[in-house]
Amino acid sequence: MVNHRFSYLRVAALMMLLATVIAGCSTCPVGQEIVIPSSDGTDPSLVMDFHLPNGSIVTVTPGSTTSTVDVPGGGKVTVIVNAKDGEGVQDAQIWAAGITWTTDPNTGITTRSGPGLLGAPTASNPDSRSPGEKGCTERVVSQNLEVHSTPRGGASYEVSARGLNFGGRDVRTPLVRLQAQ
């Protein structure tokens, strides 16, 4: 007679052990695990993607000339930033300053607010480890931003990305206006 309960428990325990072993191989969800060096004189690479509601993607890099990303009809835009460095990435950041406006239907006067000065990123994926410890060659961060525009008001953003490595090298994308069209 086979004890099915024992067999299921054994299979479940083996699967949990296997998942733990696989997950324990690396602490990096993307990229490779490395030992953080004591110095790094190279710049990290940086890519910022705007995933628009219509399915299109606009990519911005530090050398891009893109200054405006139009969002047809408005909607939720997912911003994804990926920083890479073979000697380790300390942080990937999104800086998104909101801009809102409203128009008074009685007077026709439009009031605008923003963009404000940001003292910190609005989304970040930092690594607090130090040289000699294990780090990752890539870090990814994302943020959803809602843009819209009507005759009575709307919301847009000025967005940029920043990538930092453990050697103190800092790379940024140009500032991009994200607006409903």
CATH number at 138 reads 2.60.40.10
In a domain, 14, yes or no: no
Per-residue pLDDT band at 26 (split at 50, 70, 90) = low
Q: How do residues 111-154 score in pLDDT, each as one tens digit? A: 999 998 899 999 999 999 999 999 999 999 999 999 999 989 99
In a domain, 9, yes or no: no
Among candidates 124, 127, 48, 58, which has minimal Cα distance to 80?
48
What's the predicted TM-score (pTM) here?
Answer: 0.83
What distance lies between CA 29 and its chain's CA centroid?
14
122: how many CB neighbours lie within 10 A of its CB? 17
Q: Which residues lie closer than 8 Å to 163 by C-beta, 6 or more apart? A: 44, 45, 46, 81, 83, 84, 85, 89, 91, 92, 93, 139, 170, 171, 172
What's the total number of domains in the chain?
A: 1
Amino acid identity at 127: D
